[in-house]
Structure 1
Amino acid sequence: MAKQSPVVFDDNNPEWTKEDFARAVPFEQAPAHIQAAFAKSKGGRPKGSNKEQVALRIDKDVLEKFRAAGPGWQTRINEALRRAVG
């Protein structure tokens, strides 16, 4: 049987009531300063990217050399692979 987490009450963040939900608005309608505080992440692949995430085992010494050259090591590995396949 799974152990249940204890219920935690937080006076600074009380459970929402039906009235709270009734007053709620979609994020897009929230004031600009609230939206700015939760700016969307700019990470991840851009839309339309032709990349695919894979798991790949690479010898440690090879990986260390690519990483030692600094940021962009993944791109450099991709370029080396592209040269290898012609």
Structure 2
Amino acid sequence: MKKRLTNKDGEVRELTDQDVKQMRPMSEVLPANLQRAIGQRGRQQAPTKVKTSIRLSPEVIEHFKAQGEGWQRRIDQALKTYIQEHNHGR
């Protein structure tokens, strides 16, 4: 049985690798007029971030997720702040 992508409140759950593998291009699932309304994202000139896998303690993840949407961005910002504050003399 397929696991639903949304909960009862309509919130999208975190996607798994299997979810992503099952996705299809919008050209296969949406009518042409809706595709035009959505538009296509152009090719990125240069990636702004690097995809990585990192293991963090549960309390770190819970803390950032509890603040709502954008939790990964906030972790990124916290790490940047740490670098700025601890990069003396380098």
Scaled by the length of structure 2, the TM-score of the pair is 0.46
Q: Which has the higher Rg, Structure 1 or Structure 2?
A: 1
